[in-house]
Amino acid sequence: MLNLWSISLLRKSERVRSERGKESILKRTQKLFYVCITRTKESLVVYYPEADDEIISQAEYYFGADNVKLIGDCQ
């Protein structure tokens, strides 16, 4: 029989599993991105559909302002 205490523990363990799963997905994505940006030989395109000013600023910091182009700016 489930009581309030066991439901609370169950929810906590579900949250921990969920957070670990999200963390695992984030870590795998970060590793894949790292491999992509460090193995490129000629050019690299990183598409971010909803980049705000902070994201653009960080991209300019990491890749150099001359190397960051907005889609509308590419000719």
Supply φ then ψ for residue 32, to 5 degrees. Answer: -65, -45
Within a domain: residue 72? yes
Within a domain: residue 58? yes
Average pLDDT of the residues in 34-59: 84
Q: If 0-12 CB within 10 Å is exposed, 13-18 middle and 19+ buried, where does residue 8 land?
A: exposed
Shared-domain flag, residues 28 and 4 = yes
Within a domain: residue 39? no
Report residue 63's pLDDT band, with 50, 70 and 90 as the boundaries.
Answer: confident
Within a domain: residue 38? no
pLDDT at 38 over 60: yes
Q: If 0-12 CB within 10 Å is exposed, 13-18 middle and 19+ buried, where does residue 9 land?
A: exposed
Contact 28, 37 (CB under 8 A): no
Tell me which residue range forms the domain holding 18: 1-32
Give the tens place of pLDDT for each residue, 2-36. 444 444 455 666 666 666 767 788 888 888 888 88
CA distance 46 to 67: 11
Average pLDDT of the residues in 34-55: 84
Structure token digits, residue 21: 């799963």
